[in-house]
Structure 1
């Protein structure tokens, strides 16, 4: 072992690391020491990233299931994988080790698997964090993990999923009882990373000759899509030759109806037909045209790259400590993985897909003065706005509304879909009352609510 506080050159430090750090446990110990000293060793952040890229050559390679990947990434030991923390680095190292075992080539910075990006958080929650350099006070460093299958093809398919989460909560948490509980983020988004690694393993074994594949585990998603934004602005491949991008975020809770929401269907003319021609898993596809949404595919869409984003819906554990590995539907994840593989295989000989701009659905959302106090069911494609959850002590709960109710009218305004519901809700002010018409178990009911 060596003295981490000693004054050594970068080359000497890295050489010592390569020769003396032989187990994952020892490396994690070094991570902890360096992170505690980070305020006094800002110049050595690059050395910390260098430690992350050292592989465990003495550890045996074994087949790893998606469940095992989720359990590892959503373990309390990783502290919720918040960007810029020890837990994030541990998760990054785990993902890198998996990419090495699969046989992916490193495609991060300067021939390694990692791509570091540094930013300063904005004091204004409505403003985006800004990328900066390592010398500024208050700077935080995140790490993307990037692996590559080089089939010497003309075009590349990007497959991504973010691996960061909320740590012990903070501003993004919806949990109010205890602000020190670890938010493990099994569905959000260890599930997406697990499917990413499964796809990488299969595509590596197939050795397709028609496409290259770039696999990116993004950090910084929870604080503003920072990792994907940074990659698009600082790509490690020629993004002009990217055919399309697939993103997976919260794909671990396939419901009994087997509904999968797919966003970005309108971003290429090829997508719609391909999605429905390759659904041999019995999935119910809820399609959405827009390429803009609250996940990393947006960064690629804004760079004029066709995108598909897969999502199995929100739930009561979203951004709470209860999002744990034992609650995921692993059989459902296998179905989604197989479905995405079918799509990728079908598009393998298609070359660079044509890009098409779509309507930004988020720009159409009106401003609200009031809230009904419900979580909409984003997977529902029938008539009305189906409720997926009811908030405590809010208007809907006080009026006796329940999960599964489908709102078809607010006052005199019909709500045949989500957008019409939001437009209707935007017409009310605080203190107003109205009649909500809704369906429950096939019967039409009405209740009076006060906002």
Structure 2
């Protein structure tokens, strides 16, 4: 009923002759997009098309101009999914029984500027589960993807509503292109297709901002920002505008498992915002009531401050970065923990412990910080992985951890 009410009000307002701004909150948008009605928003399904229609109506309500195909808000692409998870899907212009069609939703603020900022977030998810799901029960269940990634779309809509306001005269040196991407979960398909078939000259894009899973800001107010090294101006801008008591976990690389990668590979500077993985990731439990909505507002305000600061910077300089994923060493053993990727202190903090694995058998717990693995000092995630790669199955070693402010040593057998 809540979803029907929101859609009805949106349609009524669009049809009104006089301009009336509807105050739809980010919470309203998340609850709508993460409703069971859309059946998990899987690419190419009726549920995804319904979600696309909701976003299109919100774009119209906000006052964005269409920037899809044929003066519409949508850009469709047809592809043949790959049976091999290690191979890319094949784009094709021909629809058949073996193809699916994704739909990007694209809105525009035309400030008659020479450069354009792309603000993106994917809206597709896993439907009833299947490939990519971490749900292990036999009975299928709707994967609503509230954090992944109704949260990013809600922040995108909030930014659009702010930037379209003519009173913000200090953000008029760029145009703004808002894209809700399809096909992200199947391999960044929507963003890949857009970059290769852009609805405006791609060389006018000064930088791209991506929000993917920004709904669970933790008690430490930690947000990971990826792509910091893709333009020389980014690092200074990020920290100069952090008036929101955010703890920024910065990552230089422009390569990662989300849509900013497609733009980075086209030599466009990128910033990707992410509040971290959690136990509901790619499971049916990723629901709207679990999100931190004040935290989302803080993130939206922070991104707006960055956009405002960069408004008079002209076209940003692009800089290539190392692909951090290529530097990850190969392991013969595992500790059986989920690392806390948002931890910015010294060491590797444990965010979860798997049943019947070496860490649990040794008594390690969530919240423990590994500071030494055998003879190897652990200062961050990379040093932890390099240390772990030196061990073989059957070996035992001492692990120095910090728990509740005190250090202790435990023995772990791989």
- CA distance, structure 2, for counterparts of residue 383 and residue 144 of structure 1: 41
- Tell me which residue corresponds to 1:151: 111
Aligned equivalent of 2:343, options 367, 370, 380: 380
Long gaps (5+) in structure 2: none
TM-score by length of 1: 0.85
Runs of 4+ aligned structure 1 residues displaced above 4 Å come to: 54-57
1:200-349 to 2 correspondences below 5 Å: 200-205=160-165, 206=168, 208-349=171-312
Q: Is the 8 A contact 1:264 1:306 kept in 2?
A: yes
TM-score by length of 2: 0.93
Using the TM superposition, give the Cα deviation of residue 122 of structure 1 relative to its aligned residue in structure 2, in angstroms: 1.4
Matched, 1:162 2:125: no
Greater length-normalized contact order (CA 8 Å, ≥ 6 residues apart): 2
1:116-135 to 2 correspondences below 5 Å: 116-135=76-95
Q: Is the 8 A contact 2:14 2:61 kept in 1?
A: no
Long gaps (5+) in structure 1: 1-23, 29-53
Q: Is the 8 A contact 1:55 1:97 kept in 2?
A: no
- Tell me which residue corresponds to 2:47: 87
- CA distance, structure 1, for counterparts of residue 293 and residue 138 of structure 2: 29
Q: Is the 8 A contact 2:43 2:182 kept in 1?
A: yes
Using the TM superposition, give the Cα deviation of residue 359 of structure 1 relative to its aligned residue in structure 2, in angstroms: 1.2
- Superposed CA offset, 1:84-142 (max 9, x none): 11111111111000001011111111211111111112121111212123334411111
SS at match of 2:276: coil
Q: Structure 1's 431 and 170: CA in aligned 2 closer, same or farther, altered over 3 A? A: farther
Q: Is the 8 A contact 2:370 2:402 kept in 1?
A: yes
SS at match of 2:302: helix
Q: Is the 8 A contact 2:78 2:95 kept in 1?
A: no
Matched, 1:363 2:323: no
SS at match of 1:262: strand
- Superposed CA offset, 1:23-43 (max 9, x none): x98xx9xxxxxxxxxxxxxxx
- Tell me which residue corresponds to 2:369: 406
- Tell me which residue corresponds to 1:177: 137
- CA distance, structure 2, for counterparts of residue 334 and residue 132 of structure 1: 39
Matched, 1:194 2:154: yes
Using the TM superposition, give the Cα deviation of residue 421 of structure 1 relative to its aligned residue in structure 2, in angstroms: 0.8
- Superposed CA offset, 1:375-428 (max 9, x none): 111111111111111122322122221111111122222221100111111222
- Superposed CA offset, 1:173-216 (max 9, x none): 11212451111111111000000000001000036431100000
- Tell me which residue corresponds to 1:47: none
SS at match of 1:117: strand
Q: Is the 8 A contact 1:185 1:323 kept in 2?
A: yes
Using the TM superposition, give the Cα deviation of residue 55 of structure 1 relative to its aligned residue in structure 2, in angstroms: 10
Aligned equivalent of 1:106, options 50, 54, 66: 66
- Tell me which residue corresponds to 1:35: none
- Superposed CA offset, 1:198-249 (max 9, x none): 0001000036431100000011111111111111111111110111000001
Q: Is the 8 A contact 2:64 2:109 kept in 1?
A: yes
Q: Is the 8 A contact 1:169 1:179 kept in 2?
A: no
Q: Structure 1's 198 and 73: CA in aligned 2 closer, same or farther, altered over 3 A? A: same
- Tell me which residue corresponds to 1:429: 392
- Tell me which residue corresponds to 1:64: 24
- Superposed CA offset, 1:309-347 (max 9, x none): 111111111111111110111001111100000000111
- CA distance, structure 2, for counterparts of residue 318 and residue 397 of structure 1: 22
TM-align CA RMSD: 1.9
